[in-house]
Structure 1
């Protein structure tokens, strides 16, 4: 019942959370939700653009329809390998765009990560101030695909022609 919750339920939840995942910001960010979304083959077959320009894989999924949202995850070579193994080859090869984690923070993006992802579209969701995205993250992304910055005032639209 609603009225039966402990007065200190938030403190107890925080204690459990910190004990299980870690109490510092780095550990808390690393349990951040990562989400891959992508259109399925049935929907792509209805789209004239994909019919004319993109061959369908045998599984019916576009080779370039996936968007990976990394939230506040800290990503480096090890985390990249974990994600790639988790999603599997078919889903991983469908990626076309990556949301750069934690607004382009230098603490959430290791140098060399962009090269591992390859020639994709990268989107920073940054506040638009001078601190984020961090220059080291921007340098890492240069030459490794297309980079966009979405701020509180200016958005980024990824058009999949649907």
Structure 2
């Protein structure tokens, strides 16, 4: 078991108390990102036996709730501290995930990026996306070694009994 954090709209607590569990909800996904989410769901199915469910996003370290960007300013939200078995969480690099979101090649070096642009690599763009799960490789690469690797995760279900703490906040 490992501890993770997930930021959610405050209404999630009501659903959690009513249903006893929390699942991902595709209604909140920007339509432009649906192909990326579909790809992540496929990866979850393959790697953590997900059964096609939408992801619930997790952080490996507690986010600074005073920072902007968690929600629209003024949104009432919660940060849930949860304990989940490692085999139910798929970890990835937050920055590299943006290659998937932006439909781009996930390069390891400037040289590799140049070769990809010239059509001289055998790896496809979609194959490169799987690198987001290779945290050590990214951390040691020239492209992603910025010293502040942010590790995110996805899971499909959070049970009420897995919640260790609920912290309420208003987004900045």
> Shorter-normalised TM-score: what interval?
under 0.3
Between the two structures, name the one with larger relative contact order (CA 8 Å, sep ≥ 6). Answer: 2
- Which structure has the bigger radius of gyration? 1
Q: TM-score, normalised by structure 2?
A: 0.24
Q: TM-score, normalised by structure 1?
A: 0.25
